[in-house]
Chain A
Amino acid sequence: MKNGKKLAGTLAIPVIVFAACLLISSAQGIVLFDSLLSWTTFVRAAANTVLVTFALSINLNSGRFDFSIGSIALLSSVISSMITLKTGAGPLAMLVLSVFFGCLLGLLSGLLYVTVKLPPIIVSLAVALFYEGFAFTLTGGHGVTLAGNAEILGFGTIPNYLLVILTALVFMVIVYDHTRFGYEYKALLSGQKVSVSTGINEVKNAVLCYVIAGGLMGAQGFISATNNGSITMALNFGSISVMFLAFLPMFVGGFIGRFTNDKLGYLLGALSMAVISLIYVRLNVSSSYQQIISAVLMVSFLIYLNNEGRLKQIFRH
């Protein structure tokens, strides 16, 4: 019975979202998953979303609002693609480089935060501006074009995206649930003062969190670049928008996390978002409607979370 409740709680939101999307699309006379392209669109969106959600959640759960994750994805993919194009290396090398530079940029961001001791929101805004400007200068503002490079663009297949999703999930579960670093991270979440007094090094933990978030965003930057065929520049906080991709799946994941592992919750939240993205594509929903729908979904979910107790009481009576 307990397991049944857990399973129901875990799957409720994704199942409802999938069912609603299938219902809406069939009411419009459209098959949601009609071709390989639809599946690719769905899996790619899931990969993008889950990576950003993991990256955002790492620091946000610890109360560190990190606005720089989008700029890390931008700069790491710019550097890795420039090296790859120059050396003629393949997509795997570009992925490894992108993750490496993502970790490095995350490390710099984390070190800056623990050194200057300013609120993370301010530090991350400064870092975002710096990384955006650096990427702009590196490319002369023109960005990077990968269009026509069949080998690199060829990465965008369903098995590759699934492999990235699975790797990220396994990595997150192992690092945050089965290592000393992960236990310390959780201890710091539940009470920083007590944890530090027991000997946990909160500075080291925070820096490592930035490194991991950076690496995940490096992978996300790579997926974006190889899918889009180009990396367009962003200035004046233009890279921040990628964060908004992760808010709803993070809230959904947090809810699902009550019933199962929270990382699996984030993944299920990302899958729910991905199917919503797919229905936007299949029904060719205009961007203005998309924004309205996404905002309504998020606000409704937050209203539900805030009034959950009251709702339960109402239904009990």
Chain B
Amino acid sequence: MKSVKKFFALCLSLLMVFTLTACSQESGGGSSDDPSQKTVKIGVLVSDTTSAEALAFKAYYEKYIQSVYNVEFMYSDELKDASAEQSAIDNFIANNCQAIISFASADRPAQIEKCESEGIYYAVATGTLTDEQYEKYKGYAHYVGAIGPDLAAEYQAGYDMAKHFLDQGYTKFGMFTGASVYYTEMHIYRAAGMLAAMCEAGKGTYEGAEGMAIVGKIMGEGGNVNPGKIGSVEVNGVVAGYDFDDAWYGKLTAVANDPNVEVLLAVGSGQVAFAGFKPEGKMLGDIDCYTADSVGLMEKGTLNYLAGKFSASIGPVFAATLSAVYGKPVRDNDGNALALSQGYWVADNAEDAKKYYEVDSSTTEPAYTKEMLDTLIGASYDDFAKFVAAYSFEEIQK
């Protein structure tokens, strides 16, 4: 009886060993030589989960990229501060993520340092580092790089939008400067670009400054833009912040209905800030993204100009990250990480907006498809840069 028990125990032990071996082979997945056979887990840090732009980016990763690549995205909650970002990175590490793509910018240096010390690849999406930050981190082994509109591109987006209306003869503006009062550089640069265009057209200065110097002027005023005359151009109302209270909506309504305002310019969220209050006949320009609602507003004539990020614009940063995980990091000749700028798709009519949105919202044939992104895995820095630089709708469609 005793020996039967021993034999039974031995059989069970063997069964367990075989089962565990089989399981471990299964989780390893096929040939160990081909990295694409293994599922790569990528953590995504986000500071915004509800904006149209954030939703479009998420849809591109989860509905398209995840369906065509052997990757799994793990999203953080809405991160409000640096400590939340650190906790989210810890959570990604605990969940065996091999790389992190960051849309959160409360404390980018801390994110980079943490990922470097933990040996996890880290990339910045839809943004860039400052020159000082890039100089410091460009040689970090796990820093993949940053791809997105740099601050010069943000400035240009604001400049182009204001110029579009100035060229049509409009001279009286109202502005929504969004998070400029929270020192969000992206919004400050866009607002500065708008004011710079007004300085050129109005042959004046914004409180003594013009061009890029306006950025410093806005920073010095606590992120506020002050109404006033810029030569022959007038800024007759400015609203900032995202308070969503009665006073905030009251200020927006007042600017939108001011008889001395012909054009409303928004550094972002213009469809929330102004579209609901804008009387017919006034113009509205916004820097945001392409959604069904924005196309609808353009068709109704409520929105007249839209510089939008396209959701697939985060495709190249994904490809760079995946390439790094596969052991083929994209580096320049000096071994430095990527630092590439992208621009916006601009529509000043409903037809263009509709055309952009159709491509942008597609989950089967988005702007950057797998075939296009595959060319970036293991690509040289120059080829990568060339690919990213050709961001316009027409160039991508070619």
Would you call B275 and A233 a contact (CB within 8 A)? no
Q: Is A59 an interface residue (CB 8 A)?
A: no
**For residue A233, which residue of chain B has the nearest CB?**
B50
Q: Binary interface profile of A, 267-279, with partner B (CB < 8 Å = 1, else 0)?
A: 0000000100110
Q: What are the residues of chain B within 8 A of A280 when measuring CB–CB? A: 247, 250-251
Would you call A229 and B275 a contact (CB within 8 A)? yes
**For residue B223, which residue of chain A has the nearest CB?**
A286
Q: Is A245 an interface residue (CB 8 A)?
A: yes
Q: What are the residues of chain B within 8 A of A281 when measuring CB–CB? A: 247, 250-251, 254
Q: Is B72 an interface residue (CB 8 A)?
A: no
Q: Is A234 an interface residue (CB 8 A)?
A: yes
Q: Which of B49, B50, B291, B300 contacts A232 (CB 8 A)?
A: B50
Determine the distance from Cα of A238 to Cα of B224 in the docked complex, in whole angstroms: 25
Q: Is A227 an interface residue (CB 8 A)?
A: yes
Count residues of chain B with CB under 8 A from any CB of chain A: 38
Q: Is B253 an interface residue (CB 8 A)?
A: yes
Q: Is B64 an interface residue (CB 8 A)?
A: no
Q: Binary interface profile of B, 258-277, with partner A (CB < 8 Å = 1, else 0)?
A: 00000000000001100111
> Given A41-B250, A147-B297, are A142 and B291 neighbors across the interface (CB < 8 Å)?
yes
CB interface residues, B 300-351, toward A, < 8 Å: 300, 302
Q: Is A112 an interface residue (CB 8 A)?
A: no
Q: What are the residues of chain A within 8 A of B275 when measuring CB–CB? A: 145, 147-148, 229-230
Q: Which of B52, B77, B247, B302 contacts A236 (CB 8 A)?
A: B77
Determine the distance from Cα of A307 to Cα of B300 in the docked complex, in whole angstroms: 58
Q: Is B245 an interface residue (CB 8 A)?
A: yes
**For residue B292, which residue of chain A has the nearest CB?**
A142
Q: Is A287 an interface residue (CB 8 A)?
A: yes
Q: Is B296 an interface residue (CB 8 A)?
A: yes
> Given A41-B254, A140-B55, are A286 and B276 neighbors across the interface (CB < 8 Å)?
no
CB interface residues, B 207-231, toward A, < 8 Å: 222, 224
Q: Is B26 an interface residue (CB 8 A)?
A: no
**For residue B246, which residue of chain A has the nearest CB?**
A45
CB interface residues, A 215-273, toward B, < 8 Å: 227-230, 232-236, 238, 241, 245
CB interface residues, A 285-299, toward B, < 8 Å: 285-288, 290
Count residues of chain A with CB under 8 A from any CB of chain B: 40
Identify whether the interface residues of A are mostly helix, strand, loop, or mixed. Answer: helix
Q: What are the residues of chain B within 8 A of A8 when measuring CB–CB? A: none
Determine the distance from Cα of A228 to Cα of B274 in the docked complex, in whole angstroms: 9
CB interface residues, A 113-146, toward B, < 8 Å: 136, 140-143, 145-146
Q: Which of B50, B224, B246 contacts A44 (CB 8 A)?
A: B246
Q: Binary interface profile of B, 231-260, with partner A (CB < 8 Å = 1, else 0)?
A: 000000011110111111111011001000
Would you call A41 and B272 a contact (CB within 8 A)? no
Determine the distance from Cα of A49 to Cα of B222 in the docked complex, in whole angstroms: 30
Would you call B245 and A245 a contact (CB within 8 A)? yes
CB interface residues, B 46-85, toward A, < 8 Å: 49-50, 52, 55, 77-78
Would you call A232 and B272 a contact (CB within 8 A)? yes
Q: Is A58 an interface residue (CB 8 A)?
A: no
Would you call A228 and B272 a contact (CB within 8 A)? yes
Q: Is A68 an interface residue (CB 8 A)?
A: no
Would you call B243 and A287 a contact (CB within 8 A)? yes
Q: What are the residues of chain A within 8 A of B388 when measuring CB–CB? A: none
Q: What are the residues of chain A within 8 A of B104 when measuring CB–CB? A: none
Q: Is B395 an interface residue (CB 8 A)?
A: no
CB distance from B163 to the nearest CB of A (A): 25
Determine the distance from Cα of A229 to Cα of B279 in the docked complex, in whole angstroms: 12
Q: What are the residues of chain B within 8 A of A232 when measuring CB–CB? A: 50, 244, 272
Q: What are the residues of chain A within 8 A of B302 when measuring CB–CB? A: 147-148
Determine the distance from Cα of A281 to Cα of B278 in the docked complex, in whole angstroms: 17
Would you call B245 and A41 a contact (CB within 8 A)? no
Residue from B222, B239, B247, B300 with most neighbouring chain A CB atoms (10 Å): B247
Would you call A227 and B249 a contact (CB within 8 A)? yes
Would you call B276 and A277 a contact (CB within 8 A)? no
Would you call A145 and B297 a contact (CB within 8 A)? yes
Would you call B250 and A277 a contact (CB within 8 A)? yes
Would you call B250 and A45 a contact (CB within 8 A)? yes
Determine the distance from Cα of A166 to Cα of B49 in the docked complex, in whole angstroms: 38
Would you call A286 and B240 a contact (CB within 8 A)? yes
Determine the distance from Cα of A142 to Cα of B56 in the docked complex, in whole angstroms: 10
Would you call A241 and B271 a contact (CB within 8 A)? no
Would you call A287 and B50 a contact (CB within 8 A)? no
CB interface residues, A 19-68, toward B, < 8 Å: 37, 40-41, 44-45, 48-49
Binding site for A on B (CB under 8 A): 49-50, 52, 55, 77-78, 181, 222, 224, 238-241, 243-251, 253-254, 257, 271-272, 275-278, 291-293, 296-297, 300, 302
A-B pairs with the 9 shortest C-beta distances? A229-B276, A147-B275, A281-B250, A280-B247, A45-B246, A287-B241, A41-B250, A148-B300, A145-B293
Starting from the known contacts A148-B275, A236-B77, A278-B247, 7 additional A-B residue pairs (CB-CB under 8 Å) come to A37-B253, A41-B246, A140-B55, A147-B302, A230-B272, A277-B246, A288-B181
22 A-B residue pairs with CB within 8 Å: A37-B254, A41-B250, A45-B246, A49-B246, A140-B55, A141-B49, A141-B50, A142-B292, A147-B271, A147-B302, A153-B276, A228-B272, A229-B275, A229-B276, A236-B77, A245-B245, A245-B246, A281-B251, A281-B254, A284-B238, A286-B222, A288-B181
Binding site for B on A (CB under 8 A): 37, 40-41, 44-45, 48-49, 136, 140-143, 145-148, 153, 227-230, 232-236, 238, 241, 245, 274, 277-278, 280-281, 284-288, 290
